[in-house]
Structure 1
C-alpha cells in the first residue's frame, strides 16, 4: 500500500509540474477541467447520486455555471491581467475584479462551514439535503478552478501554483508528524478521530516556517520586501493553513454523512481526487485574495 501511495504521488507531482510549467493559460484551463471532472463525479457520490445519469446531470449543470463564470471573467476591466504561457502559447486576459469577488464569496462560505463543523453532529438538517450538498460542491470547486487559473495567468511559469500546493502539503506533513509525536487531545473526534490539536499546530507552524523561508529567498535573491508585505503574506499563510484543515474536516463530514471511507478510487492508494484536494479547495481562495491584494497595493505604490 505504501509503495502504491508513493508511486501515485510521484505521478501526480510530475503531471502537476508539466501542466503548470509548460502549458499556456488557455491550455491550463483545459488541464484544470480534466482534473475537475472526476472530482465532480465524486461529489455526486457525496450527494447520494447513485445513477450515472444523475451524476451526468450534475456535471452538466456545473459546466453551464462554469461557462457563465468564464464569460464574466473574460470581460476586461481596468484591473485585468494578461499573460501567455511558456509552451503552446496563447494569450488570456482575466477580470481580476471577478476573481476577487468569487474568492471572497468562497472565503465567506468556508467561514460558514466552520460553524457547522463546530456543531457536528448537530445542525445536520441545514445542509444534508442533496441540492444543498450540490450547491456546496459548486462553492468548493468553482473558486478553486478560477483561483488556479488566476495564479497561472499571474505567473505563467506556474510557480505560484506550485507554492500553493507546497504550502498545503506542508500543513499535512507537519500535522502528521506532530500528531504522531505529541498528539493526545483530539481536534474533532466526531469527524476525524485521528486528528489532534498537536497535529493542527504542527501543520500551521510548518506552513509558517515554509512561508518565511520563501519570503527570505525572494527578499534576498529577487526583490526587497517591505515589512507590511511580510506581515500580509505570513498572515495569509496562517489563514491558509487553518482553512486547509477546515477543508479536510468538511469532506470528512460529508463522507461520514454518506457512510463512505473514500470519495472514489481513481487514485490508487489515495482514494479519490477529492481526497487529495479537499484541503486545497479551502486554502486556494485565501491565497488568491492575498496575492490580489498584494498586486493591487504594488500597483498603487
Structure 2
C-alpha cells in the first residue's frame, strides 16, 4: 500500500473525520483544517507529527493561500487535496436571506475553487497529484426547497469537470465524489434552514423542513463511504465521478435520463436556428 500525504478541509466531523481517522490508522500523513479549536485534539495526541492541524475558514481567500502554501513548504509534497468543508442550506429561493445565500456559496463553491487554485501550482511543480471534490448527487439532480445548496454543488461540479481537462496534461487527476444520504452530522449539526414563509407551507419546497428529523435516518454508512473515497486514489486514470450509495445512483440515473430525454426530443428543432447559407 502506497503511503501518501493528504490535505483535507473540514476534518472535525463527517466524511473529513472518517477519512482522517482511516488514513492515519493505515500510516498516511494528513494536514487537516478545522474551524472549531480542540475538535481533533484526540487525533493530534494519538498520531503526533503524522497529523498536522490548521485553523481555516475556506471563505477567507488570503488564509487559504497561506495555509496551503505553508503545508506544501513544510511537507515538501502533498499527494491528495480533498475539498470536504461545506454545509447544507435548505429553503425556497425567497426564504433564504442575502447573507445566507452569500455565505453558503462562499463556502461550498468559492471556498473549494480557491483551495484548488492555491494547490495547483504546487501539484504541477511536483509532477502530479489528485484532487477529490466532495459533492453530492445533488450536484446533478435536484429536490425542491434546496435551490441554494444545489447552486453551489452544480457550480463546483462544472468547475471541477472543466478543471480536470485543464490539468490532466500535468498528471493531476480530479474526482467528484457524489454520495447519497449518510449518517453524518450534515443533517443534524451543520445543516442550516431558512426561515419558512407560510406561502410555501403546502408546496413541494416545504418537504425539506423535515430534513433534520432523526426518526428518518439516512441510508449510507459514512465510514464505508470514506473507505471508497480513499481507495479511489488507487485508480488510474482518476474516475471523474464516484457514486456512493444506492440512493445516489437512483437519483442520478433518473435525473440524467430525464434530462437526456428532454434534449433528444428537441434534436430537430434545435437545428432550426442554424445558419444554412454558405459563406
TM-score by length of structure 1 reads: 0.28
Rg larger for:
2
Higher helix fraction (1 or 2): 1
TM-score by length of structure 2 reads: 0.29
Higher strand fraction (1 or 2): 2
Higher RCO (CA < 8 A, seq sep 6+): 1
